[in-house]
Amino acid sequence: MRTDTEVRETGLPERLAASARSRTLPRKGVADWLEARRDSGSFRVERVPFDRLRGWGFTPGSGDLVHSSGRYFGVRGLDVRTDGGSPPHWRQPIIHQADIAILGVLAKEVDGILRFLMQAKMEPGNITTVQLSPTVQATSSNYLRTHRGARPRHLEYFTEPGRAEVLVDVLQSEQGSWFLGKRNRNVVVETAAEVPEGADFAWLTLGDILDALHHPHLVNMDTRTVLSCLPFSAAPGGSPRENTGFAEEVERSFGATEQDSLSSLAGIRAWVTGQKSGRALSARPIPLDEVTGWERTDEEIRHESGRFFSILGVDVEATTREVASWSQPLLAPRGTGLTAFLVQPVAGTLHVLTRADLRPGYLDSVEVGPTVQCDPANLEVLPPDRRPAFLDLVLDSARTRVHYDVEQSEEGGRFHHATTRHLIVEPRTPLPEDLPPGYAWMTARQLTELLRRSHHVNIEARSLLLALSSLRPRG
């Protein structure tokens, strides 16, 4: 794999910028294409009781919900203790999936512009059935054909050495409250070969994809995380300018040098390491039957308060998938999540306010997250002093300029109708540079650099970073 320095020397950031300025489709073309692909297939998702989940069952003695093959994933219990958390101790169900999935996007230069082979893919938990997905989105259970179905198309570009040139290849986490230790391979490779598309695939420019990010539930979570790992850093932006537009300030943040930044990259990496080593969290797997505060019915596993999430079962038919029918559990959040970046000029350059996010499912306990990341419905019973810092500010349009506000979907292969409101807002009255513990100002370029390392930036911040990139000048 090439190093980041080698990638920069080949001009990849400039090629990405050119692709972001180019479009092959009208601005609503992705939505129209996805609708056409949805109409061309036959799909059925039916909620069913657990005893109708084909191939799934509760393990005697532990109550864990697992597949009879021992593959795919399972729902287990987790006992969590934190240092001064709120609450300091709890138990919950959690998805355990040892498989490392390939989330792969195939790129190719066409007429001098870099394009990406995207897939219109159905997932049972998708709120819109079909969404824009990576070229390959498959766990090892899928591509080793545990399900005895078809092999994912174009898999060879990501598994056979020499088939394509690697642009990005990094392991990244998923949702730390819902997955235990989950990692995916986020990879983009480029080929010069002729690639047969197929009806459910299309070559799109980065401009097409970034346009689609401004519409709800078009671009799936896996596409957002993979593309966020690309080196979007721009050329250095020069001196601060008076009366520049927000898009130009975003551009300058992606090209910020050390002199433009409040802190050095080395200092930020040291801050991240300190947050990882300075927070105590114990996450101990336990049998699902030992998870107190939760109850199991014939149709779901739910918290006794009705908050947080539930585990339910679905039976699925899809003519466009490698297997035409199957059953599986899904995790269903109780409300719409919220993830938000506060951004403002600091030291003359636009910075993003990030937070050290502590979650039981992370391998290192802490990753860099957005300014605010929560499920507001779960906070209604809490007193004001236990609500997340800056939550009231990001939700108050009278005190902020809203630059991005779009509801996006979480991954439909494990989550049922899981949606998150994405916000990028700028306070009308700038925040002081001094911050509460666990927060840090970073430029967009510094966040991009952190993404070169595994398990440093969480999936919510990665999704917002791609949204921030969509706000750069693109014509």
Residue 135 has pLDDT above 60, yes or no: yes
Give the ranges where 229-278 is alpha helix by DSSP (H): 246-254, 265-278
The model's pLDDT over 405-443, given as tens digits with 9 standing for 90+, comes to 999 999 999 999 999 999 999 999 999 878 999 999 999
Q: What is the DSSP letter of 108?
A: E
Average pLDDT (254-278) is 96
Q: Tell me the one-letter amino acid at 100.
A: I
pLDDT in tens, 79-121: 999 987 778 999 999 999 988 999 999 999 999 999 999 999 9
The percent of the chain in helix, strand and coil, each rounded to the nearest 5, is 25, 35, 40
Structural Rg of the chain based on CA atoms: 22
> Residue 33: helix, strand or coil by DSSP?
helix
pTM: 0.94
3 state DSSP class of 1:
coil
**What pLDDT was estimated at residue 249?**
97
Please compute the mean of the pLDDT values over residues 195-213 and round it to a whole number: 95
Statement: residue 360 has pLDDT above 70: yes
Residues 361 and 109: their CA atoms lie apart, in Å, by 38
- For 359-447, strand residue ranges (E) read 366-369, 372-374, 400-409, 419-427, 439-442
pLDDT confidence tier of residue 146, bands split at 50, 70 and 90: low
Could you tell me the pLDDT band of residue 307, with boundaries at 50, 70 and 90?
A: very high
Q: For 196-231, give the DSSP string.
A: ---TTEEEEEHHHHHHHTTSTTSB-HHHHHHHHTS-
For residue range 238-258, what is the model confidence (pLDDT) as tens digits? 444 444 699 999 999 999 999
> Does residue 311 register a pLDDT over 70?
yes
What residues have CB less than 8 Å from 337, skipping those under 6 apart? Answer: 373, 374, 375, 410, 418, 419, 420, 421
CA pair distance 450, 365, nearest whole angstrom:
17
- pLDDT tens track for 2-28: 443 334 445 999 999 999 999 998 878
Whether residue 360 contacts residue 78, with contact meaning beta carbons closer than 8 Å, is answered with: yes
Structure tokens at 241: 């300018």
Long-range contacts: 7-15, Cβ < 8 Å, 24+? Answer: 7/167, 7/231, 8/231, 8/233, 12/167, 12/230, 12/231, 13/231, 13/232, 13/233, 13/234, 13/235, 14/235, 15/109, 15/114
Residue 85: what pLDDT?
74
Are 389 and 306 spatial neighbours (Cβ–Cβ below 8 Å)?
A: no
How much of the chain, in percent, has pLDDT values that exceed 90? 84
Burial of 216 (0-12, 13-18, 19+ CB in 10 A): middle
Q: How many residues does the chain have?
A: 475
| Residue 28: predicted pLDDT | 81
CA nearest neighbour of 367 among 434, 445, 281: 281
**Encoded tokens for 93:** 């169900």
Strand spans (E) along 359-399: 366-369, 372-374
Provide the pLDDT for residue 267: 98
pLDDT of residue 234: 66
Domains and CATH numbers, the chain: 4-43+98-281+334-469 (3.90.79.40)
Q: Chain-wide mean pLDDT for the chain? A: 93
Which residues are CB-contacts of 468 (< 8 A; sequence separation ≥ 6)?
250, 341, 343, 352, 404, 424, 444
Rounded to whole angstroms, the Cα distance separating 396 from 454 reads 34
